[in-house]
A and B are shown apart, each in its own frame.
Chain A
Amino acid sequence: MTAVIKTHLPVFVVAAPLFVSFLLSPMARRFGWVQSLVVGVQGLGLLLAVYLAGMILKSSGVPIIYSMGGWPAPWGIELWTGSLGAFFLLVVAGVTLPISLYAVNNLSDEVGDATRSTRFFVLYLLLAGVLAGMALTNDLFNIFVLVEVATISCCGLVSARRGPNAAKAAFNYLILATLGSGLILGGIGLVYMITGNLNMGFAGIALNGVWQDYPHVVWMAMSFFLVGFGVKAALFPLHVWLPDAHSTAPTPASAILSGLAVKGYIICLVKILFGVFEVHLLDVFRLDQILVLLGMLAILAGSILALAQGELKRRLAFSTVAQVGYIVLGFGLMNIKGVAGTLFYLASHAVIKSTLFLAAGALISATGKTHVKDFAGVGRKMPITMGVFSIASLGLVGIPLFSGFVGKWYLLLGSLEVGNLTAAGVIGIGSVLCAIYLFPIIRTAYFEPAPEDDWQDPGVPQRLALVMLGIAVIGLGVLPGPLLQLAQKAAADLLIIP
């Protein structure tokens, strides 16, 4: 029995949230059950993700390959739990659990009654399951399907709030994201046409033999993927939809969108670039330099745009644009330290940005204000919320012993190892800009007198979620051990270094 469960673990991790999400709708009348089911499934997911990651670590990176329906690779669909998959699965599970905890008993303001909230949870679980799928899949067409499901559930989450602004943001997002999906599907088609395979491993092998005959097709497929996933991952200058979407979404949705969804697309892109085209081809087509350049642009532009935003959630949304730049830049470095660093940075940003959005949501719903200058004195009235917000800010700026620093350290190591001083400089400037757009919020919160309003920390589940995430920010900074090891293994796998 246990053996059966063990062999089917990878598919269970992906299928469980998807399956449960379909069960939720009929249960809308018993909203308490819905909530406990959601949190329970996420908790189970986290346990399983930890278990899988532990197995991968113990076997030092030997992947667990699961063939769906028992059909072996080139014909069937594979779930490939390698070090990268386990890593991202762990990140997804680790961040979705506190976010769903935060959503408990907290949606009536932003989303509506039990029926609407249940629908919200349906979409939320769909997204969580799909992200887990993105972590594990090894099939190009599967990626397309997952990306589409993710897009639709993201748009649904954005439009969960009533009112025209949310609908407008969701519509813009939907149109641009579908444009991106079209490009991705086109890219998959091109790869399929020259390799005859949809399994990434086999497509990669086939491509290695034939790419010289079709250099233009390869180049076109690469750029289709880059632009397609770029739109979805809000890579500057394709980020235009992100600020509206992420800032109008309900709080838990903003957190999962900014913290995880964006990264899911990046992981897919990376899987395709490094798994199908492989380092050699990326080198030939100079994609490494393009990624670094795009990353630097995104860091600078995103940070400066964030600086110009007065609304708290918009500022955080633009900050995501900048942080995506760090992640893309790191993949462009194409050495172990850079890629491992960027993976760790991805994890740490997933935690930090969801923390920031959740804390911001708590601030906004408690005070009813949205502008960064409006939060005078909340530090004393809402000590937990603001404390966690400050911890996360310090982490994002990259103060040592917070999680952001470890990632930044390895990113700097990676970029200076290839002698790219400009990239290192941009990373440094990015941190300073990040401090400039986050610290004033902390200053007004702690060092300005509070008005006489009765503001309070949110309820118990929300506090628990915030504290969990705050501990994660520090924990990853002080003891990054296993996660960093996993990231290093994943980097070695991606770069095909034994």
Chain B
Amino acid sequence: MLELGMALFSGVTGALVVASLPKATERLRRAVVLLFSVTGMVFSWRVAIKIFNGGNIGIIAQLGGLTWSLDPDPLGAMFGLIASTLWVFAAIYSFGYMERKTRPQTYYAFFLISLSATLGVAFSGNLLALYFFYELLTLATYPLVIHERSADAVKAGRKYIIYSLSGAAAILIAIVLTYIWSGKIDFASGPILVNTMRPGLNLLLALFVGGFGVKAALMPLHRWLPAAMVAPTPISALLHAVAVVYSGVYGILRVVYSVFGRELMGTLSLARKLPWVAAFTILVGVIIATQQDVLKRRLAYHTISQLSYILLGAFTLQPWGLGGAILHMISYSTLKVTLFFCAGIIAERADETAVSRMQGVGWSLPKTMIAFGVASLGMVGMLPLNTFWSKYYLMRGGVQSGQWSLALVLIGSGIINAICFLPTVVASFQGEKAKSSGETGGNTMLMLGPTLCLAGIALLIGLYPGIVWPGVEAVVNRFF
């Protein structure tokens, strides 16, 4: 109870504190942000550990004539844990990044509100609470997307809002349908629609997947994501590689395993096509990524592709597939945030955003490019890195579900991933030393620190995958 409340409200409280101190020094503001993100993280961890050990924490509220419940299960706890942990890294990185940017107060306030909204999505115990926090997340991240206030940013923000709200409208209709057909909306008592056999379930699934698919950037609903890359880098990293897009992915996982349940999913004709939608997104996303010259856009399309790995694992409806999906949620997020952080450092220090002009950047920003290289190797799925394991489980899941070709898709995508990133890394260490302000200076350390740290964590999980296994196991056991 207390842990849950602390985790959930630390962000909002922090935002209020930041908002009520308009004249605070940068130092004080940073301290507040750090304090509240760490609080959020600590209590999310405590919630997660309690849940993984079979505990139960729930809050139920009757508001607006409807029931709202917060009742995390292992899947939600895992999502909360990933998000809140990366939030702290992003906060520290932001301190460096925002040093020379304007409007830090607005930025940090909404940064912290988004933390609360994300944890709300993670901890929600019924569809209504999930919907509420999902909407809240859209609204809270919108100011961050348009933080630059340029015409491009405003346009991107508009696209983001329209896509997200349309998705949310579809979800709301789907929730109402679910409620009418089954009479309940909470996740705790097994899959909601478990004994419902009736026509129209395919349509319901399409509404749900379409709605959450917007945020999960499932093709063809992905167009807002590359546009939203005008946001400040920590935001692109955190929100558009992890928090926001994961809330969509998480929503789909919930729908598949908690609303329909895997038995019912297995009987739906649409459910059999969904892995192929994901496979299509994986391949097309990464192929488009190879053609992007702006690094952040390349990373955006790459995100689109990687998110569908997780969805693919979930859609196989196999324990290995789900395990792989959860593992990929953990490992991919560490690597992707690293990549984005590197892109931000390159843009800030070497003033370079185009991939084709990266020659020599490696000499001036060696640590950044090494972290970038490590993360790139991870994206390919090389062994000492954590994504190797997740891809391995995903493939096993694909094979287990009797669809060999899905494994082939993953292998193919790995190869294209290599084409996508490795030449850049190699090129950056060739040619003359590029113009750059180097990696020294206080704010660079604030940016570089979290980056290297995350790369290290990725390596660590790769070498000892056992440290995250209990969590993954708890999630898989919950549904199988």
Chains A, B in direct contact (C-beta < 8 Å): yes
B157 within 8 A of A: yes
A429 within 8 A of B: yes
Q: Are B180 and A432 within 8 A (Cβ)? A: no
Interface of A is mostly: helix
B172 within 8 A of A: yes
Residues in B whose Cβ lies below 8 Å from that of A427? 173
Residues in A whose Cβ lies below 8 Å from that of B32? none
Residues in B whose Cβ lies below 8 Å from that of A406? 64-66
Q: Are A436 and B169 within 8 A (Cβ)? A: no
Residues in A whose Cβ lies below 8 Å from that of B203? 421
Q: Are A478 and B173 within 8 A (Cβ)? A: no
Interface segment, one of B83-91, B159-167, B304-312, B413-421 = B159-167
Q: Are B146 and A409 within 8 A (Cβ)? A: no
B176 within 8 A of A: yes
Q: How many angstroms from the CA of A64 to the CA of B53 in the assembled complex?
A: 60
Q: A202 → chain B, closest Cβ, in Å?
A: 36
A282 within 8 A of B: no
Residues in A whose Cβ lies below 8 Å from that of B136? 399
Q: B328 → chain A, closest Cβ, in Å?
A: 31
With A413-B176, A424-B173 given, is the CB distance from A435 to B132 under 8 Å? no
Residues in A whose Cβ lies below 8 Å from that of B169? 428-429, 431-432
Q: Are B146 and A479 within 8 A (Cβ)? A: no
Q: Are B131 and A480 within 8 A (Cβ)? A: no
Q: How many angstroms from the CA of A424 to the CA of B200 in the assembled complex?
A: 15
B149 within 8 A of A: yes
With A412-B176, A443-B154 given, is the CB distance from A400 to B132 under 8 Å? yes
How many A-B Cβ pairs are below 8 Å? Answer: 77
Scan residues 437-451 of chain A and give those whose CB is less than 8 A from a CB of chain B.
439-440, 443, 446-448
Q: Are A447 and B131 within 8 A (Cβ)? A: no
Residues in B whose Cβ lies below 8 Å from that of A446? 143
With A428-B169, A435-B161, A447-B149 given, is the CB distance from A401 to B63 under 8 Å? yes
A92 within 8 A of B: no
With A400-B132, A405-B64, A479-B63 given, is the CB distance from A431 to B165 under 8 Å? yes
B432-472 vs A, Cβ < 8 Å mask (1 yes, 0 no): 00000000000000000000000000000000000000000
Q: B171 → chain A, closest Cβ, in Å?
A: 9
User: Which of B63, B143, B166, B172 makes the CB contact (< 8 A) with A478?
Assistant: B63
Q: Are A479 and B64 within 8 A (Cβ)? A: yes
A372-405 vs B, Cβ < 8 Å mask (1 yes, 0 no): 0000000000000000000000100101110001
B128 within 8 A of A: yes
Q: How many angstroms from the CA of A450 to the CA of B106 in the assembled complex?
A: 15
B370 within 8 A of A: no
Residues in A whose Cβ lies below 8 Å from that of B146? 443, 447
Scan residues 123-146 of chain B and give those whose CB is less than 8 A from a CB of chain A.
128, 131-132, 135-136, 139, 143, 146
B276 within 8 A of A: no
A72 within 8 A of B: no
B98 within 8 A of A: no
Q: Are B64 and A413 within 8 A (Cβ)? A: no
A237 within 8 A of B: no
B399 within 8 A of A: no
User: Which of B106, B143, B149, B172 makes the CB contact (< 8 A) with A412?
Assistant: B172
Residues in A whose Cβ lies below 8 Å from that of B166? 428-429, 432
Residues in A whose Cβ lies below 8 Å from that of B268? none
B170 within 8 A of A: yes
Scan residues 216-233 of chain A and give those whose CB is less than 8 A from a CB of chain B.
none
User: Which of A394, A425, A440 makes the CB contact (< 8 A) with B173?
Assistant: A425
Scan residues 16-65 of chain B and give those whose CB is less than 8 A from a CB of chain A.
63-65
A484 within 8 A of B: yes
Q: Are B64 and A416 within 8 A (Cβ)? A: no
Q: Are A400 and B176 within 8 A (Cβ)? A: no
Q: How many angstroms from the CA of A446 to the CA of B103 in the assembled complex?
A: 12
Q: Are A401 and B177 within 8 A (Cβ)? A: no
Instruction: Kindly report which residue of chain A lies nearest to residue B203, judged by CB atoms.
Output: A421
Scan residues 223-260 of chain A and give those whose CB is less than 8 A from a CB of chain B.
none
Q: B24 → chain A, closest Cβ, in Å?
A: 17
Q: A333 → chain B, closest Cβ, in Å?
A: 13
With A405-B64, A443-B154 given, is the CB distance from A412 to B173 under 8 Å? yes
Q: Are A428 and B132 within 8 A (Cβ)? A: no
A481 within 8 A of B: yes
Instruction: Kindly report which residue of chain B lies nearest to residue A419, judged by CB atoms.
Output: B200
A361 within 8 A of B: no
Residues in A whose Cβ lies below 8 Å from that of B177? 416
Instruction: Kindly report which residue of chain B lies nearest to residue A440, judged by CB atoms.
Output: B158
Q: How many angstroms from the CA of A424 to the CA of B204 in the assembled complex?
A: 13
Q: Are B149 and A448 within 8 A (Cβ)? A: yes
B179 within 8 A of A: yes
A283 within 8 A of B: no
A477 within 8 A of B: yes
Q: Are B176 and A409 within 8 A (Cβ)? A: yes
A113 within 8 A of B: no
Q: How many angstroms from the CA of A413 to the CA of B179 in the assembled complex?
A: 8
Q: A217 → chain B, closest Cβ, in Å?
A: 39
User: Which of B64, B157, B158 makes the CB contact (< 8 A) with A477?
Assistant: B64
Residues in A whose Cβ lies below 8 Å from that of B128? 400
Q: Are B64 and A480 within 8 A (Cβ)? A: yes
Residues in B whose Cβ lies below 8 Å from that of A477? 64
Q: Are B179 and A400 within 8 A (Cβ)? A: no
Instruction: Kindly report which residue of chain B lies nearest to residue A483, judged by CB atoms.
Output: B65
Residues in A whose Cβ lies below 8 Å from that of B162? 432, 435-436
Residues in B whose Cβ lies below 8 Å from that of A408? 172
Most central of A394, A399, A448, A478 by chain B CB within 10 Å: A399
Q: How many angstroms from the CA of A88 to the CA of B29 in the assembled complex?
A: 49
Residues in A whose Cβ lies below 8 Å from that of B170? 428
Q: Are A416 and B180 within 8 A (Cβ)? A: yes
Q: A48 → chain B, closest Cβ, in Å?
A: 26
Scan residues 336-363 of chain A and give those whose CB is less than 8 A from a CB of chain B.
none
Q: Are A399 and B161 within 8 A (Cβ)? A: no
Instruction: Kindly report which residue of chain B lies nearest to residue A402, judged by CB atoms.
Output: B64
Residues in A whose Cβ lies below 8 Å from that of B139? 394, 399
Residues in B whose Cβ lies below 8 Å from that of A481? 65
With A428-B173, A443-B146, A443-B157 given, is the CB distance from A417 to B180 under 8 Å? yes
Q: Are B143 and A399 within 8 A (Cβ)? A: no
Q: How many angstroms from the CA of A417 to the CA of B173 in the assembled complex?
A: 12
Q: B92 → chain A, closest Cβ, in Å?
A: 26
With A416-B180, A432-B165, A447-B146 given, is the CB distance from A401 to B132 under 8 Å? yes
Q: How many angstroms from the CA of A421 to the CA of B206 in the assembled complex?
A: 13
Residues in B whose Cβ lies below 8 Å from that of A413? 176, 179-180
Q: B137 → chain A, closest Cβ, in Å?
A: 12
New contact pairs (17) apart from A399-B136, A405-B64, A408-B172, CB-CB < 8 Å: A394-B139, A400-B128, A400-B132, A401-B132, A409-B66, A409-B172, A409-B176, A412-B172, A416-B176, A432-B165, A432-B169, A436-B161, A436-B162, A440-B158, A443-B157, A478-B63, A481-B65
23 residue pairs A–B, Cβ–Cβ below 8 Å: A394-B139, A399-B135, A405-B64, A406-B65, A406-B66, A409-B172, A409-B176, A412-B173, A412-B176, A416-B173, A416-B177, A421-B173, A421-B203, A428-B169, A429-B169, A432-B162, A443-B154, A446-B143, A447-B106, A447-B146, A448-B149, A479-B63, A479-B64
Q: Which 8 A-B pairs have the closest CB atoms?
A: A428-B169, A400-B132, A412-B176, A432-B165, A424-B173, A435-B165, A432-B166, A406-B64
